Amino acid sequence: MPVRDAEAADAGEICALIEEHARYEGNDTLVLDREEMAGHLFGPGPKAWVLIAEPPGEPGTVAGFAFCSWNFATWEGRPGIWLDDLFIRPQYRRHGLGRELLAELRERTSGRVEWEMQEGNDKAAAFYAQLGARPVPGWIRYRWSPAG
């Protein structure tokens, strides 16, 4: 199976994927602290978790990832998954790895799997529609960041 749970040894590669995704989206300045990220993912009381996609026939090669955390839907009374980031390196796209990552997330919860997508990303919207995912009408996402 080309999808596996990330391990502590993957922390540097996870940061590299996040930075590559940022560059792909036009943010050329993002640089993450590898040690800090490792603590958030693999230290005591992890705050998030990651699935790694490896291309078939290339074990040990990291093609992409899904960066996730648990959430809870009170009206459904069950936990779900918040997908914060999904990225497949361009050379590994169109091989079903994004679909594999999302299918694995769907298997891990009987609740919601939710994520955000930038407006105007027609390719992603079409991909998500093929999976049966739909935008959530009538809801606006707010973000309250610390001052500073």
The residues carrying an active-site annotation are 128
Measured in whole angstroms, the distance separating CA 132 from the mean position of its chain's CA atoms is 18
Give CA–CA dist 102/95, Å, rounded: 14
Comparing CA positions, the residue from 35, 103, 108 lying closest to residue 69 is 108
Phi then psi for residue 105, to 5 deg, are -65, -45
- Residue 31: how many CA atoms within 13 Å on its side-chain side? 1
Greatest CA separation for the chain: 47
